[in-house]
Structure 1
Amino acid sequence: MQTTVSTAPLPYIDTEHFFFYDTRNVITAGALAESLLGLEAIVKKSVLVINRLCETNIKDSEVLINAIEFGSYKENIVFRFLFGKGKAAEKKLDDLRVKLGLHNMDLKKLVGWIIAGSILYAAYKFAPSTPTPATIHIENSFNNMGQELGMTKEQVIDLFETAIRNPEDLKKQVSRMAHPGGVEHTGTMTFDHSESLSIPADVVNMIPPGYKKEDAEEPFKDFEHVQIVIRAIDLDRPANGWAGIITEISDRRLPVVLADGLEPGTVPAGKNIDADVTVLYKVGKNGNKEPKKIMLRKVHSK
């Protein structure tokens, strides 16, 4: 079985794949489970890329296990892509099959490229600024993927950037898959026995084990000359106990911290003040950004 299509009771497409990770580490049940959970999360992220590329509407995905061979990770797995319910979902499934036919690429091949591409994209986000053999491999892979899809390397990277709006979670899940339990593994990952879908050990080694997003990597934006009302002040604690509202950013009261060098006694409370601020955002599960904290950098006198 390579690709199976079902339209009842819930429209879905199954694609069967082979995944091989020649890690030298001992494979425990816990490590295997952790790696599979990371892979499942990567597949769900990859659905966003497929939906954007093919203008379809896959609602969800599942990873089904056909067979596992121990020694290294050798897994025969099925990715199931669910299209929801009703005639509209069946039409989306048919539309996807037509689009793939026009591009001369079946879904199994496309899925292999997108899953491998998602892992490479996470490694790309970890990459150093100076070129290395690993970064050159990533660029060559994006070039090859672009040739398969009729796109340039830059368009392929833009596809992942626009579809996966929360790359930090993707990086976490790829780290989880490559280094289960936060223990460093090494080796080459290969999908579907294909050299073009191979991720060499030096690329895998760019992915840090136990990756967790640092606060400094959270998105932020500087604003100049905005109107802010300070609603709470604690002169003894300039790093805590403050709150304010900037209506052009959020109607909610947000925590306020003072930048180094800004004296608490110079900040008036209860009225609009002209200020320079930095707003720190949190990223939700769907990639949406919401303001979570304000740093007050400068108060402008009238």
Structure 2
Amino acid sequence: MESNEISLPMPFFFDRRTTPSLQEVVDSLQGFDGIAKRFPKILSALLDAPIKSVTVDVNKIEIGSLYDDLVVKFGFGGQEQMDLFMKEMHEKFMNHKAVPFILFFALLIAGGIIAYNVVAPDEASSSAIINSNNTTIINMISADVGKDADAVREIIERAIPRSDSIKLAKDSYKIFSAFGDSNSLRFKDFDAYKLPKDVVDTLPSSLDFDSVQDLKDFEKVDVQIRAADLDSVKSGWAAKVPAVSEHRIKVKVADGVDVTKVQIGANVKADITVVYKSKESKLVPGYCVIRKIH
């Protein structure tokens, strides 16, 4: 059956004061394309209208401030599916024009949260600003689609499996890297929300993404603390985690974890996320992030 498409203009821009580099322009386009590829599964669940695919076309790029004039095309399996989606488009998109735009910001910030919680929990300065903006975005989607905020959050989280989370973080950081000296990132003719500079400033600025390949969560596993700086959770931590490796691995501690129960040489039960890196064509545990100590 021949595919049908609906086109939605989604031009966005950074209000930069300096001219972006070629790499920043490329990063902004690649980041948007990567994030948009997650639209079908989430919008299908939010609007009960099965979307088969999404593609992003570039109409034009303007440099000075950085303006990317993009068109997102949603593909459907046939006329019946397209008619159903058109009905939802009229009721949800055309009346408010919030869902696809806000969903982009939701996924963008989700990638930042992954980086904050997993890739560099010891480098972020504060999560309050991120959490506040994330809550605002979720509530806006909730109001537009008529689902409660918890249901919206669950739909988005289900669409980001662990196997995809590092890729989303990398896509988000391509967008952040193009932020430059902007005060905000926004969509043209959409004023309901803009990503402010303080959100980007809160996120870790320099991350070693290239070697990070996969994540795996472990719940209530034995963590044998071999080195720790109880005055700082940013450095000096190491442990043996038998469920992960026979070798000692570096430890990072997530924001808000109570480390008062930790004693060097002692064993604790903890929920952890192991970050795997590529080494000689194999995945090896690079470090673990302690999310909770029981």
TM-score (norm 1): 0.61
Q: Distance in 1 between matches of 2:127 and 2:207?
A: 22
CA distance in 1, matches of 2:138, 2:181: 24
2:246 pairs, out of 246, 251, 258, with 258
* Equivalent position of 2:142 in the other structure: 146
CA distance in 2 between counterparts of 1:17 and 1:10 reads 21
Identify the match of residue 63 of structure 1 among 33, 56, 61.
56
Q: Which of 147, 169, 192 is equivalent to 1:196?
A: 192
On the 8 A contact 1:23/1:186 being kept in 2, the answer is: yes
Deviation sequence 1:193-251 (CA, Å, 0-9, x none): 32323111111223444645575972143699xxxxxxxxxxxxxxxxxxxxxxxxxxx
Aligned to 1:111: 100
SS at match of 2:37: helix
Q: Which residue of 1 aligns with 2:157?
A: 161
Distance 2:92 2:180 in 1: 39
Other-structure match for 1:296: none
* Separation (CA, whole Å) in 1 of partners of 2:29 and 2:183: 17
Which residue does the alignment assign to 1:175? 173
Cα distance in 2, alignment partners of residues 64 and 17 from structure 1: 10
Report the CA distance between 1:49 and its aligned residue. Answer: 1.4
Distance 1:141 1:110, change over 3 A: closer
- Separation in 1, partners of 2:17, 2:199: 16
**What is the aligned counterpart of 2:218 among 217, 221, 224?**
221
Tell me, yes or no, if the aligned pair for 1:188 and 1:201 is still in contact at 8 Å: yes
CA shift at 1:164, angstroms?
2.0
Q: Distance between the aligned counterparts of 1:173 and 1:72, measured in 2?
A: 21
Query: What is the distance in 1 between the residues matched to 2:273 and 2:12?
Result: 42
Size of the aligned set, in residue pairs, is: 227
1:98 counterpart residue number = 87
Who is 2:46 aligned against? 53
Please give the alpha-carbon distance, in whole angstroms, between the structure 2 residues aligned to 1:19 and 1:38: 12
Distance 2:142 2:125 in 1: 22
Is 2:9 the partner of 1:16? yes
**Cα deviation, residue 114, structure 1:** 1.5
**1:135-179, CA deviations, whole angstroms, 9 ceiling, x for partnerless residues?**
323322322222222233333222210112222211110101220
Whether the 8 Å CA contact 1:40–1:63 is kept in 2: the answer is: yes
Superposition deviation, residue 52 in structure 1: 2.4
Q: Percent identity?
A: 18
Distance of 1:171 and 1:185 partners within structure 2: 21
TM-align CA RMSD? 3.8
Q: Which has the larger radius of gyration?
A: 1
Q: How big is the shift at 1:184?
A: 5.7
CA distance 1:95–1:122, shift in 2 (3 Å)? same
Structure 2: tracts of 5 or more residues without a match: 118-123, 222-243, 249-271, 277-282, 286-294
- The 8 Å contact of residues 66 and 77 in structure 1, kept in 2 or not, is answered as yes
TM-score for both structures, normalised by structure 2: 0.63
3-state SS of the aligned residue for 1:258? coil
Gaps of 5+ in 1: 1-7, 225-255, 261-277, 283-290, 294-302
SS at structure 2 position matched to 1:219: strand
For 1:155 and 1:132, the matched residues in 2 are separated by 22
Q: Distance in 2 between matches of 1:79 and 1:185?
A: 27
Q: Larger relative CO (CA 8 A, sep 6+): 1 or 2?
A: 2
User: Structure 2: which amino acid aligns with 1:91?
Assistant: E
Q: Say if 1:16 and 1:79, in contact at 8 Å, map to a contact too.
A: yes
